[in-house]
Amino acid sequence: MKLVVVGLGNPVMSDDSVGIKTVRELAKKLPANSEVIIKEAYAGGLRLMDELIGYEQAIIVDSIVTDKYKPGTIIKSDLQTSFISRNLSCSHDLDLISALELARISGLKCPEKISVWAIEAKDIWTFSEMLTAQVSQAVPLVVQEIEQVIDGLVGNLTNMEPVPGTNRRQG
Amino acid sequence: MKKVTIDPISRLEGHGKIEIFLDDDGNVENAYLQIPELRGFEQFVVGRPAEDMPVITNRICGVCPEAHHMAATKALDDLFQVVPNSAAKKLRELFYSSFFVTDHTTHFYALGGPDFIVGPDAPAGERNILGVIRKVGVDIGKQVIACRQRNHEVIKLLGGRGIHPAAGLPGGWSKAINEEERQGIEKTARANIEFALFTLKAFDEIVLKNSVYLDLITSDTYRHETYYMGLVDNSNRVNFYDGMLRIVAPNGQEYVKYHPCDYRQHIAEIVMTWTYLKFPYLKNIGWKGFVDGASSGVYCATPLSRLNVADSMATPLAQEHFEKMYETLGSKKVNGRYLPIHFRLATHWARLIELLYAAERMLELATDEEITCPDVRVIPSGVKGEGIGCVEAPRGTLTHHYLTDERGIVAKANLIVGTTNNYAPIAMSIKKAAQKFIHNGIVDEGLLNKVEMAFRLYDPCFSCATHNLPGKMPLHIALKNNSGQLLQEIRRD
């Protein structure tokens, strides 16, 4: 399994950095000989596609603003759902699905399976390197769950709606 | 217009929001594009060493970190009172030219071009690069990806990192290049020139030879007469990296030319009670509202603006295409320079001419005998307490301004980003498009597409705030009466 885990967001925009902070924590937990690649990405669309090329599977960790869930809620999806986290697309080019299609048409190898782990954000508009308290609490939970995926303990990542016992509401 | 307080922007996932205000007869009085406010940048950087600014400010935006990095680096030159040597300046400009090639390529093929290549009336879901491929062929997609990849490698090589460059230092650049690296960059530059020429040829065949598209470009719907701003070199030629800021009047006459450090003498910002946006304008002309003309302080800073303020392009092939654009769109030469083009959709063409210029400039620099000089840094010797740096970002003139204490610790920062310059012109373009499609409170079909085209040509940057658009940019247009009461909502999710 050639797996890449991408933390996506803006590292200086408060809760928008939750994906980046999560993969940094994940990187500390992985054994030195792990074949899993950890990356940070700062924009969606074509720029995010560039980071995914050449891998068989990808996990993207990002913030999301739905106003449906409490800040810190973990929402898992795949790219085919209509419910997409806030950074997957880029207002300067196109959405990730189209960017990957462009890559495939152009003969580049794209991941067969892309899972998105989104964390409901409280504040994505304030310049800060700190997460809000509720969102911060989600980081170790996401790290733990992705570790389990890496260990092959969890297979189905396409459950959209938070289900008690699977996704957690924080705060 | 009655003063209206706009509700806070919707926090729904990924909505650009346009507010259109109607008068008592149901006709358009004003229209604005809402961009979320980013809070607290000045507080965020206060207390940090100024030398950190190139690697902090480049995190503001995931799309144009190179522009912020370069403006911040130049502000440090000023702050620490140091002038980089010639080799360092050339390396910086080489890096910056490669960035421009990437950014302009992406905009044309992913955003600007599809409106013409696929067609302005095609469904929004088809007006993207995949639609371009279906129309032109799969090879174009491969070329776009190849162009992005080869320039990404140059940016990584010269900037130290692929995304957030780190090579800029006060007084120079932290990375010199060897002959082997130079040869690789030269190869990339040559490929970029070929690609830019190919793109301009495609534009010529698909757009300019189509009378319907040419009529659209030259239609009054997308025409505004404003002042124009852009950096020019000593010969009044376009330059992205350095120079004087030149502003020309709607009639093409030079209104003023000033050093970027003097921006506060020429640019002011007006705050409206109904929005958090500040609208920059020419201080010495004055703010007369969102109106065209020489008596209005509204100015524009875009690829078209940069060409409008210049006498010519600095590279031969770009100059040929520059002349072709002005001649084709009916501009006359007065006192040795073309009169400005006011057709805003011509910004797409101007962007391609800039793409070619950036590629040619890259080759000039990659083959310059100084470019492999190992000495690329002048060590600073003092702290002035204030530093201003200015570059042309792809979306317009970018200015960074820092105030520090005697140790170089930031006390205050002010940034005027490319898109900020264009807030008023964008509002005017949206308003004009809306006026064409809304009469007596009745909204015609096609409003969404036409309004979208009106602001897309500016490539407004919400990336640092709203890079959250699922798929094609969703639009949320709110029509309100002059009391701010919501009359109708038009949405495309």
Please judge whether A105 and B130 are an interchain contact, meaning their C-beta atoms are less than 8 angstroms apart. Answer: yes
pLDDT at B12 over 50: no
B43 contact residues in A (CB cutoff 8 A): 127
Helices in B20-64 by DSSP H: which ranges? 41-45, 53-57
> Nearest Cα to A14, choosing from A86, A75, A78, A76?
A86
Is there a contact between B209 and B301 (Cβ–Cβ < 8 Å)? Answer: no
Please judge whether A41 and B163 are an interchain contact, meaning their C-beta atoms are less than 8 angstroms apart. Answer: yes
Structure confidence at residue B364 as a pLDDT band (50, 70, 90): very high
pLDDT at A59 over 90: yes
Token pair for residue B239? 């330059």
pLDDT at A156 over 60: no
Select from A98, A106, A125 the Cβ nearest to the Cβ of B142.
A106
B42 contact partners, CB below 8 Å, separation of at least 6? B412, B413, B414
Minimal Cα–Cα distance from A30 to chain B, Å?
A: 24
Instruction: Tell me the one-letter amino acid at B320.
Output: E
pTM of the shown model: 0.89
B469 contact residues in A (CB cutoff 8 A): 89-91, 95
Tell me, yes or no, if A53 comes closer than 8 A to chain B by beta carbon: no
Mean pLDDT, residues B408-421 taken together: 89
Select from B14, B465, B471 the Cβ nearest to the Cβ of A125.
B465
Predicted pLDDT of residue A144: 95
pLDDT at B466 over 50: no
Dist CA B18 CA B479 (whole Å) = 9
Mean pLDDT, residues B286-291 taken together: 94
Minimal-distance CA residue of chain B relative to A12: B59
Predicted pLDDT of residue A138: 97
Please judge whether A107 and B36 are an interchain contact, meaning their C-beta atoms are less than 8 angstroms apart. Answer: no
B130 contact residues in A (CB cutoff 8 A): 98, 101-102, 105
pLDDT at B201 over 60: yes
DSSP assignment, residue A164? B
pLDDT at B467 over 50: no
Minimal-distance CA residue of chain B relative to A9: B62
Tell me, yes or no, if A80 comes closer than 8 A to chain B by beta carbon: no
What Å distances lie between residue B173 and A143, B15, B78, B152, CA to CA? 38, 40, 15, 18
Dist CA B50 CA B56 (whole Å) = 10
Give per-residue pLDDT as tens, B120-169.
Answer: 777 767 778 888 888 888 899 899 999 999 999 999 999 998 778 999 99
Structure confidence at residue B449 as a pLDDT band (50, 70, 90): confident
Structure confidence at residue A124 as a pLDDT band (50, 70, 90): confident
Predicted pLDDT of residue A81: 59
A95 contact partners, CB below 8 Å, separation of at least 6? A44, A45, A84, A88, A89, B469, B470, B471, B472
B129-136 vs A96-105: helix crossing angle, rounded to 10? 30
Predicted pLDDT of residue B163: 78
Token pair for residue A48? 């995010």
Minimal Cα–Cα distance from A86 to chain B, Å?
A: 4
Mean pLDDT, residues B202-209 taken together: 91
Mean pLDDT, residues B322-346 taken together: 95
Predicted pLDDT of residue B476: 64
pLDDT at B340 over 70: yes
pLDDT at B65 over 50: yes
Select from A46, A89, A103 the Cβ nearest to the Cβ of B106.
A46
